[in-house]
Chain A
């Protein structure tokens, strides 16, 4: 998707460039501090400040404390419904996962481009979301095998399957289990990327319409495109929250599979 001169390239916003440390490397792989790492650090700082501001112990909570407790209560509730009491030890992990993805998604939607700093969505790369998905799946595997040893494989054979169906059912269930990390990471990645590409394409329409100089066609292109951009930005904020929730919800469901074996 090369950009022609004067046209907006919708994929340029996803380029990862090193900011400093261009020649840092481990075993031949560059570990330069990239713009992606900078935005991850910004997500961490924003999340830290948010939690710090709300982790007071006032009996009658103020608004900030209520917001933080709202998030923690929401995740704890979700995990209690999905897993039950045995899932309490995983609440810190799922909460961190949910809040990181939520803040990363929302920071990518900030209008800081007005001041010259174009936002970068950390979760718009399959590498980032894939690592989060592999982390969740890895925890599921470790917990499942540590708790049930080889009985973990009974997860793939539901109760009451007739004996002649067992090999086929086992294979199909195993396939559907192994595709989980891929689907987790892919879902978040494509949702974020598609939204941002759409916004950039509409922005290209606005710019071309405004630059055309034609007083008749210009407004016809610019005004609907800009209205669509505003509407889709609101939708993207909703999608950011929903995708973070879906990631956390599916992680807790997979953990339920590992802990409670149906």
Chain B
């Protein structure tokens, strides 16, 4: 297999990480919503931490997107 095809296949595989990031981000917001509905008064105070958790989960997913883009640009 030549390097260009391998890079394109690698880019496709790396993009699977973006789907897993969706799971991670959904987990963060889902947990927040679930516990916020149990204790609405305490929910507003934790909003900052919600976005910190979202940023961390999203960053790791964006890293896999970055790898996919790097491989795609190397191949094409």
Interface, chain A (partner B; CB < 8 A): 1-2, 78, 81-82, 183, 186-187, 190-191, 194, 242, 245-246, 249-250, 253
Contacts and interface: CB of A to CB of B under 8 A. Distances in A.
A1 B76 contact: yes
A186 B59 contact: yes
7 contacts: A187-B55, A190-B62, A191-B58, A246-B52, A246-B54, A249-B48, A249-B51
Given A190-B62, A246-B54, 13 more contacts: A81-B48, A186-B59, A186-B62, A186-B66, A187-B55, A191-B58, A194-B62, A194-B65, A242-B54, A246-B51, A246-B52, A249-B51, A253-B52
A249 B52 CA distance: 8
B52 A187 contact: no
Contacts of A191: 58, 62
A186 to B, nearest CB: 7
Nearest to A253: B52
A99 to B, nearest CB: 17
Nearest to B63: A186
A52 to B, nearest CB: 29
Contacts of A242: 51, 54
A82 B63 contact: no
A82 B48 CA distance: 9
Nearest to B76: A1
Contacts, number: 37
Contacts of A253: 52
A242 B66 CA distance: 20
A190 B66 contact: yes
B72 interface: yes
A46 B52 CA distance: 28
Interface in B54-70: 54-55, 58-59, 62-63, 65-66
B65 A250 contact: no
B65 to A, nearest CB: 6
Which 6 pairs show the lowest CB-CB distances between chains A and B? A190-B62, A246-B55, A187-B59, A183-B59, A1-B76, A246-B51
Nearest to B60: A183
Q: Which of B62, B65, B76 has the most CB of A within 10 A?
A: B62
B73 interface: yes
B13 to A, nearest CB: 18
Contacts of B55: 187, 246, 249-250
A220 to B, nearest CB: 26
Contacts of B76: 1-2
A250 B55 CA distance: 9
Nearest to A179: B59
A48 to B, nearest CB: 27
Interface centre among B55, B72, B76, by most chain A C-beta atoms within 10 angstroms, is B55
B73 A1 contact: yes
